[in-house]
Structure 1
Amino acid sequence: MIQIAVFSDVHGNLPALEAVLKDMEEKGIEHKFCLGDLVDFAPWGNEVIEKIKSLNIPCLMGNHDERIAFNIPVIPLPKHSEEETNARLIAIDHSKKHITKENKKFLSELPFHMKLNYKIGKKHWNIQLVHSSLESNDTYLYESENDEVFTQMLEDSKSDLIVMGHTHLSFKKQFDNKKWAVNCGSVGRSREENRLASYLTLTLHEEEINPEIIQLDYPIEETARQIQESGIPDYYASFLRNENILL
């Protein structure tokens, strides 16, 4: 048996990341992987990057990481309200100003995809890690997508299981061929109603893979207060408190 952990979308929320890492340590999980989006929306972008670097956790380049690393202009998204659009511009500009040159370089060198192969007995398990999809780090794939979308990704990547993040909404889907598509949710900016920090554990046996979504409490109120004191729009504090923010 091998156990690995996959997490995504920390978005500068160091308290949430610390809660997740502590839980992994208590579970004795040594193999850890991050799907990206280390920055934006909470005030600890540099600290989150430094934590990932210090622990040597392999990490992909999320769309927010890419934007900050290469100073890519922000394009308003149709799904966002005017309030969120304005808050998003200010929050991303805050990251562009505060993320250090060294950490921007780190973000710029992150890989786009990652393929894992674990051998248990006679079985090789192929696990594909992406931020959002094989072609893009900014594609929104939800649980409601047709199964064919995910089964095609599994076929294209020649994998038994594909793990993604980006949408901040966790799910697990198993198909007739026993293969899996899993979204590990978000550590630092969950869009789920409980706003808890989410990550994924994968327990590998010779006969099967068992994915489990873990959701953890962390000091959300303290995080919200720190956001309000940081220059990042209060919108993101209200979001974490789940104060009737439209998704």
Structure 2
Amino acid sequence: MRIAVLADIHGNLDALEAVIADLKLEAPDLVVNLGDCVSGPLDPGLTAERLIDLGWPTVRGNHDRYIAGQPREAMGSYETDAIDRLAPAHLDWLRALPQLATPLDGVLMCHATPACDETYLAESVGPHAVVLASDAEIAEHLGAGTPALVLCGHSHVPRLVRLAGGRTVFNPGAVGLQAYDDVTPWPHVIETGSPHARYGVIDAVAGGWRFSHRQVDYDWDAAARKAAAAGRSDWAVALRTGFAERQAP
């Protein structure tokens, strides 16, 4: 059994198509999507259409929830950049996505943590830095009774963490956006340092799983031009470099 794991596409159809092409080489038995599918200034409607047609098991991300359920005046910029290019059928699809899914026995899909789609599972944000969360912090976020393997996204940071009790957390990184800044719970910046689209591959092996992170070339300059044309210089820099705008080399 081979599982491909995608997350945080954020309407970046160019990156998604490059990952789909790469998947043909990896030949997974199952592809799963951990949410935050369409929000952002790139190609939200076309991305929604592509994902609906693909029919992959998908869970709801926090931005999926915002864009499908909030009034416009309550939306953030990721949602207002996208909402006018989404059809009612796209919003219906987002609303129907579950918060959690179990694609296989012993495997749980969530966007962020099992209980909350806005909380990093494997990262701890303080007033001065974002660091890998402790074993105890991650276990607390997971709660009791979660399966041995938890697939999560949200932070856009590729991670593989094995807890003392044997549970494993796998974050494939983001398909569509490699840097951003946020203000919750403290102002912080997330950066992967390169513009490549990212996803993960998990293989069943004797006694467990084997994990790999994939980094895929695509035309990130074209994606950056779309962001710039939409007035989003922050996205343009992040897409082109993998660094946040204020820290771009």
* TM score, norm. by length of structure 2: 0.83
Letter in 2 for 1:103: H
Which residue is 2:113 aligned to? 133
Q: Which of 171, 183, 195 is the aligned partner of 1:183? A: 171
CA–CA distance in structure 2, aligned partners of residues 17 and 227 of structure 1: 16
CA–CA distance in structure 2, aligned partners of residues 152 and 63 of structure 1: 20
Distance 1:100 1:39, change over 3 A: same
Displacement of 1:205: 2.1
Output one character per residue of 1:116-152: Cα deviation in whole Å (capped at 9) or x when no partner.
335xxxxxxx011110001111112316111123334
Which residue is 1:35 aligned to? 34
Which residue is 2:227 aligned to? 227
CA–CA distance in structure 1, aligned partners of residues 154 and 54 of structure 2: 22
Q: Greater CA deviation, 237-246 or 169-178?
A: 237-246
Distance 1:145 1:50, change over 3 A: same
Distance 1:158 1:111, change over 3 A: same
CA–CA distance in structure 1, aligned partners of residues 37 and 223 of structure 2: 16
Letter in 2 for 1:96: I
* TM score, norm. by length of structure 1: 0.84
Displacement of 1:235: 2.1
Which residue is 2:199 aligned to? 199
Which residue is 1:150 aligned to? 138
Which residue is 2:184 aligned to? none
CA–CA distance in structure 2, aligned partners of residues 199 and 114 of structure 1: 18
Q: Name the count of aligned residue pairs.
A: 226
Given that 2:135 and 2:164 are in contact with CA atoms closer than 8 Å, whether structure 1 keeps it comes out as: no
Secondary structure of 1:156 counterpart: coil
Where does the alignment leave 5 or more consecutive residues of structure 2 unmatched?
124-130, 180-191
Letter in 2 for 1:136: C
Letter in 2 for 1:185: G
Output one character per residue of 1:50-103: Cα deviation in whole Å (capped at 9) or x when no partner.
11111111111111111111125677xxxxxxxxxxxx9444212122211110
Output one character per residue of 1:168-192: Cα deviation in whole Å (capped at 9) or x when no partner.
1111112344431121110000230
Letter in 1 for 2:170: V
Where does the alignment leave 5 or more consecutive residues of structure 1 unmatched?
76-87, 119-125
Letter in 1 for 2:117: N
Letter in 1 for 2:92: K
Percentage identity across paired residues of the two chains: 24
Are 1:173 and 2:161 matched, yes or no? Answer: yes
Which residue is 1:98 aligned to? 85
Which residue is 1:7 aligned to? 6
Displacement of 1:20: 1.0
Aligned-residue Cα RMSD (Å) equals 2.1
Distance 1:146 1:244, change over 3 A: closer
Are 1:218 and 2:191 matched, yes or no? Answer: no
CA–CA distance in structure 2, aligned partners of residues 65 and 33 of structure 1: 16
Given that 2:114 and 2:142 are in contact with CA atoms closer than 8 Å, whether structure 1 keeps it comes out as: no
Letter in 2 for 1:110: L
Secondary structure of 1:187 counterpart: coil
